[in-house]
């Protein structure tokens, strides 16, 4: 009769599990608060309408704020939308390294080593118009652009290089999540520009990456990624027989994690 919040370091997510949601609960809604539950300003991505099975439901939060006490609330909802159960749990979870995450494809999530970053720029959208007979021009403008900068990353080996390359190959919006102790690098949601990587030495597997980032709005709530996709299924199992032999239930199959290479479509 509760909700539990457990950190999974493999994909850097808070795993939310709710039990005893009520015999009449058909869906569950998971919400997040960072002000002690005074207000719940965000629905956990993918947690707006989770099917309830045997009074249980689960969701994953990849986008919490590290180092900040986060209160999760789950509501068990009847078919008419009425709440038949409400549970809360509070967790403070930090991370030890920066993570690059892909909300649309969380199996691509990977920790990264930040080497440095370039100048952070915010472009003006103002125009100045000289007026006949006046010394001072008139300004016509709008709010300034979002920030953009170059992020430098380091990979140590071929596996790290390959995983990061697959992440950027996805072409999706990325979420740069930083430890609470890191305050000198701008985090958030970004569009990725033309990425380049250079070996530190000619024969070294180490690569220094230059990643142009432009801040963008977070993907909408309709963007819900899965840690395991049908592409992953096709890559892992040759037949339905081998699939069913390795997975007793659909839940067991969905608990798996896809490979970064699943992002490539031949």
| Site of tokens 């992440």 | 167
Phi, psi angles (nearest 5°) of residue 122: -130, 110
For residue 230, which of 240, 221, 222, 220 has the smallest C-alpha distance?
A: 240
**pLDDT value of position 242:** 82
CATH of domain 3-92: 2.60.40.10
Question: Could you say which of 2.40.30.200, 1.10.730.10, 2.60.120.10, 3.40.50.1980 is the CATH number of the domain covering 98-215?
Answer: 2.40.30.200
What is the pLDDT at residue 254?
65
Domain ranges across the chain = 3-92, 98-215, 230-263
Taking 70 as the pLDDT cut, the residues of the chain under it are 1, 230, 250, 254-255, 264-266
Amino acid 89: pLDDT: 94
- pLDDT attached to residue 264: 62
Confidence (pLDDT) at 145: 93
How much is the pLDDT for 240? 79
CA dihedral (186, 190, 196, 201) in degrees, to 10, reads 40
Share of the chain above pLDDT 70, in %: 96
């Amino acid at each position: 009769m509760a909700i539990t919040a457990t950190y999974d370091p493999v994909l850097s997510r808070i795993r939310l599990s709710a039990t005893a949601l009520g015999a009449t609960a058909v869906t569950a809604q998971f919400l997040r608060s960072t002000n002690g539950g005074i207000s719940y300003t965000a629905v956990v991505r993918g947690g707006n309408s989770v099917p309830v099975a045997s009074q249980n439901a689960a969701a994953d939060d990849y986008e919490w704020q590290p180092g900040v006490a986060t209160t999760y609330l789950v509501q068990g909802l009847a078919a008419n939308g009425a709440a038949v159960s409400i549970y809360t749990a509070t967790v403070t979870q930090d991370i030890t390294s920066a993570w690059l995450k892909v909300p649309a494809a969380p199996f691509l999530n990977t920790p990264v080593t930040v080497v440095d970053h370039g100048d952070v720029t915010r472009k003006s959208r103002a125009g100045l118009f000289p007026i006949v007979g006046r010394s001072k021009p008139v300004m016509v403008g709008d709010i300034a652009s979002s920030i953009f900068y170059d992020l430098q990353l380091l990979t140590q080996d071929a596996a790290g290089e390959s995983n990061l390359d697959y992440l950027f190959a996805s072409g999706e919006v990325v979420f740069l999540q930083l430890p609470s102790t890191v305050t000198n690098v701008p985090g958030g949601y970004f569009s990725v520009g033309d990425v380049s990587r250079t070996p530190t030495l000619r024969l070294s597997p180490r690569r220094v990456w230059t990643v142009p980032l432009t801040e963008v709005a977070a993907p909408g709530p309709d963007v819900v990624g899965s840690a395991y996709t049908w592409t992953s299924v096709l890559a892992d199992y040759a037949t339905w027989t081998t699939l069913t032999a390795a997975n007793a239930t659909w839940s067991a199959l969905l608990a798996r994690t896809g490979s970064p290479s699943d992002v490539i479509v031949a």
